[in-house]
Structure 1
Amino acid sequence: MAHFMSFLIAFSILTFAPVCFCGNKARNCYLYPQFYDHSCPKAQKIVMSIVAKAVAKETRMAASLLRLHFHDCFVKGCDASILLDSSGSIISEKRSNPNRNSARGFEVLDEIKSALEKECPQTVSCADILALAARDSTVLTGGPSWEVPLGRRDSRGASLSGSNNNIPAPNNTFQTILTKFKLQGLDVVDLVALSGSHTIGNSRCTSFRQRLYNQSGNGQPDYTLDQSYAAQLRRRCPRSGGDQNLFFLDFVSPTKFDNIYYKNILASKGLLSSDQVLLTKNEASMELVKKYAKNNKLFFEQFAKSMIKMGNISPLTGSKGEIRKHCRKINK
């Protein structure tokens, strides 16, 4: 009887938890939220505690940690390759155009890893830490929560070219951005929902300057940007210089995870070109922007689903990869 009950419990975990099955390259493996329940039961509490401390110290850190998970998963899958420093044959993804001078939060992840190594040595992967930190950052700023499927392992290498080519850029066309999402198994719904992460955080002047000074290539003003808003932006984002000056992605509620981002887009006040094209270049994305602007609950529900889906991009599981002792370098 006890054996039968154990079977039922195991079956219910795999049936009702948000299980993510791997693709053809890694057969018969899956991620599930209870992965560390026995091997490191305090893992999720430890991650949340340190993320909460970091976000309380600097609210911007929530967006930074969320962004790291995104930039990791779009390069070789969710394998913590973004955390590796350059050494030996490894050229760090931190040097890539999307990450250089902007990717941050590495010290927070170092602190989490150090605490987890003390609690349960070589058990919790850096890739899973990234996924948990992204969820916790969302929750701490008022966004939705979700059960994070776990069981990823860490890569033994990085891809500078993958980081340069696979991560959507602020100046990419809508079709280019959508293609980059589709290459990861994500669709237009995921694109619009995950773009909603721009409801928190900052962007650098260099990422949207071309919208302010008719640098689109055709010499024409960017009429998709509200001109009074553009005038405000020009004060701290000059035609040259000030590249690293920071601006809120959502100037209305920059530290609160909500659907104001979509309302800003409807008002032609999406900061990045990649934000505004969600409304102007594709009918399906336009309708989704309108729906999420109108219904915060709908946005939250889809964001959680899309984050789980993104977190399952080509994970290393089973005997693949390793559990790094330090997130910045592979094990000896």
Structure 2
Amino acid sequence: MDNSHILLPSLLLSLLFFSSKSTAQLSQNYYANICPNVESIVRAVVAQKVQQSFAAAPGTLRLFFHDCFVRGCDASVLLVAANGDDESHSGADSTLSPDALDMINKAKVAVDSDPQCANKVSCADILAMAARDVVSLTGGPFYPVELGRLDGKTSTKAIVKHRLPGPGFNLDELNAVFAINGLAQIDMIALSGAHTIGVSHCDKFVRRIYHFKQPLQFNPPMNQSLLLQMRQVCPLNYSPSTVAMLDSVTPFKFDNAYYLNLQQGMGLLASDQILFADQRSRDTVDFFATNQTAFEEAFVAAVTKLGRVGVKTGGDGEIRRVCTRVN
């Protein structure tokens, strides 16, 4: 049985102190004497962009997650190659939010426009701060962000394959890909909660809503009302640009409704619903569904650990002058 549901808040918070050699340079006050206003500058840009386009909020969380899982948290996902051989042009990253990308680039410009900060703040750190800000601006917790990352110098399409979880993954597959990045099952379940403000394209779940041999049997099962609704949203001749909300109840609020939805069979992706369907993870889903504070604490712990993955140090990284290309 998964006993992670009995973790006390103090234990969840203790996960914040997970350490490794690659994260020794990170600290919450890294820019205190370098660029003391950096967090307020970034937050102002984020707040403006989210007000203009809500899509920037879930898009930024996805951008941060994809960046960290592929090469580590080094903003390599932001690099654009003239020949198209970069992460953003891979199949898994081809639907990254233009609004989120635009926001990070604008935040970089805003930070560098402060004479005290020019060319001193990495794009990787700006992305980490922006991810925190979209969480808090949409109703989630505000938490301290560890800073001090350098930007990576390479980005290729080929490396993305097999680095990211797929929409049809089962629990063992999810745990395996998260474990590679030092994240436990409870971290995976907590980070999945970010889908409370996310969207998905039809191609990621169309196989769940059209099963020709057994039309009303799914593994894991889907709520029938949601099923019929999604068939309206994504007909067989759906447009590749069509999206559906991953949380159909409170899609614009960062809360624990995602887990309540899973209890009702309303997980849009198979990789979401499996968290409740599999007995090994169901207890944690139930715990987060009944205790939003516990979910928020677990999310903060998990996203902090995520932010420590593959941090670049020394000659392995740089502080880019423009987020979309190396210096």
Q: Which amino acid aligns with 1:29?
A: A
Tell me what 1:208 maps to. Answer: 205
2:191–2:299: 8 Å Cα contact kept in structure 1?
A: yes
Q: 1:19 to 1:173 in 2, by over 3 A?
A: closer
Residue 302 of structure 1 deviates from its aligned partner by 0.5
Shift of 1:167: 0.8
Where in structure 2 are the equivalents of 1:204-243 lying within 5 Å? 204-214=201-211, 221-222=217-218, 224-243=221-240
Aligned twin of 1:65: 60
CA contact (8 A) 1:60 1:255 kept: no
Q: Measure how far apart 1:299 and its partner are.
A: 0.2
1:244 equivalent in structure 2: 241
TM-score by length of 2: 0.90
Find 2:148's aligned residue among 146, 151, 175. Answer: 151
8 Å contact from structure 2 (residues 63, 96) kept in 1: no
Give the TM-score normalised by the residue count of structure 1. Answer: 0.88
Q: Per-residue displacement from partner, 1:156-207 (whole Å, max 9, x unpaired)? A: 0014223221111112222212111011111100010000000002111111
Alignment match, 2:94:
100
Q: Which residue is equivalent to 1:295?
A: 291
Which of 172, 177, 181 is the equivalent residue of 1:180? 177
Q: Which amino acid aligns with 2:94?
A: R
Computing the radius of gyration over CA atoms, which structure comes out larger, 1 or 2? Answer: 1
Which of 264, 281, 295 is equivalent to 1:285? 281
Give yes or no for contact 2:56–2:97 (8 Å, CA) kept in 1: no
Tell me if structure 2 keeps the 8 A contact 1:72–1:80.
yes
Q: Does 1:272 align with 2:230?
A: no
| Cα shift at 1:79 | 0.5
- Structure 2: which 5+ runs fail to align? 1-13
Letter in 2 for 1:307: V
Structure-1 separation of matches of 2:283 and 2:200: 25
Cα distance in 2, alignment partners of residues 134 and 312 from structure 1: 14
8 Å contact from structure 2 (residues 201, 241) kept in 1? yes
Asked if the contact 1:47/1:133 (under 8 Å) is kept, the reply is yes
* Alignment-derived partner of residue 123 in structure 1: 120
Kept in 2, the 8 Å contact 1:55–1:62? The answer is yes
Query: Residues 78 and 127 of structure 1 are in contact (CA less than 8 Å); yes or no, is this contact kept in structure 2?
Result: yes
Cα displacement (A) at 1:99: 1.2
Specify the alignment match of 2:4 in structure 1: none
The answer to whether the Cα contact below 8 Å between 1:72 and 1:79 also exists between their aligned partners in 2 is: yes
- Bigger relative contact order, structure 1 or 2, given CA contacts below 8 A and separation 6+? 2
Q: Is the 8 A contact 1:20 1:30 kept in 2?
A: no
SS in 2 for 1:268: coil
Q: Distance in 1 between matches of 2:307 and 2:280?
A: 24
SS at match of 1:134: helix
Give the distance between the partners of 1:86 and 1:165, measured in 2 at CA: 21
Q: Are the counterparts in 2 of residues 73 and 79 from structure 1 also a CA contact under 8 Å?
A: yes
Q: Is the 8 A contact 1:208 1:273 kept in 2?
A: yes
SS of the residue 2:142 aligns to: coil
Distance 1:21 1:195 in 2: 22
Paired-residue identity, %: 37
Query: 1:244 Cα deviation (Å)?
Result: 2.0
Aligned equivalents of 1:65, 1:124: Cα separation in 2? 18
Report if aligned partners of 2:153, 2:316 keep a CA contact under 8 Å in 1: no
How much has 1:218 moved relative to structure 2? 8.2
Summarize deviations over 1:94-130 as a string: whole Å, max 9, x none.
1112211344311111111111112111110010011
Distance 1:96 1:288 in 2: 33
